[in-house]
Amino acid sequence: MVDFGDFYLSRKDAVLRAVLAATADRAGAEDAVAEAFARAYSRWAKVREHPNPAGWVVLTALNVRRSWWRRWRRELLSDAPPEPPANVAENGLSDQMRSAVLALPRRQREVVALRVLCGFAIDEVGEILGIAPATVHVHLHRALAALRNGLGLAAQPAGAEGKAAR
């Protein structure tokens, strides 16, 4: 059995990347990840038996962040959407890519963050988000199509470059 300290040290960066990519708010992501790891620590006997403890922590952090967001949104007096934080560049994406990812619907953004940026398997992403693997495929397909379209990259059918050269 892995102890909590080893688990924390080995997974904290990946969990933070996943939450940061999904929220684009470094301070909020760090707070949510800290809260999620605190919850995991207090329930470690149960969490370590989970099939995917890192996924449990990511999902908890995303849920914590959503709860804070809902609470904050209720307190907001204006209907204007908030500006994305200035420190969003810290997740290593280009400005154009970051804008395209942030324009995706929440669930597609979460799937892209977990699958592409953090490298979780399709089944793991489904487990983390509580959706079927087929649904993960659908969200990922739609997200990648939207990103290609938003970035001006046309999807080429397999072998298309060979046919054009003939």
C-alpha atoms less than 13 angstroms from C-alpha of 84 in its C-beta half-sphere: 16
Whether residue 83 contacts residue 134, with contact meaning beta carbons closer than 8 Å, is answered with no
Dist. CA 76–CA 69, nearest whole Å = 10
The tens digit of pLDDT for each residue in 18-52 reads 888 887 778 888 999 999 999 999 999 999 999 99
The CATH number of 4-155, from 1.10.246.90, 1.10.730.10, 1.10.10.410, 1.20.140.160, is: 1.20.140.160
In this predicted structure, the answer to whether residue 80 has a pLDDT above a threshold of 50 is: no
pTM for the model stands at 0.52
Residue-level pLDDT at 139: 93
Residues 57-74: what's their mean pLDDT?
79
Which pLDDT tens digit goes with each residue over 100-141? 888 899 999 989 888 887 888 889 889 888 999 999 999 999
Alpha helices in 24-157 (DSSP H): 26-42, 44-47, 53-75, 95-102, 106-112, 122-129, 133-150
**92 C-beta neighbours (distance < 10 Å), count:** 11
Q: Is the pLDDT of residue 84 over 60?
A: no
CB 86 within 8 A of CB 96: no
Which region among 50-54, 88-92, 150-154 has the lowest average model confidence (pLDDT)? 88-92
Structure tokens at 153: 């990259």
Q: Please give the backbone phi and psi of residue 95, each rounded to the nearest 5 degrees, phi first.
A: -60, -45
More confident call, 149 vs 134:
134
Write the single-letter amino acid at 11: R
Cβ–Cβ < 8 Å for 111, 138: no
Tell which wins on pLDDT, 83 or 147: 147
| CB-based contact 112:104 (threshold 8 Å) | yes
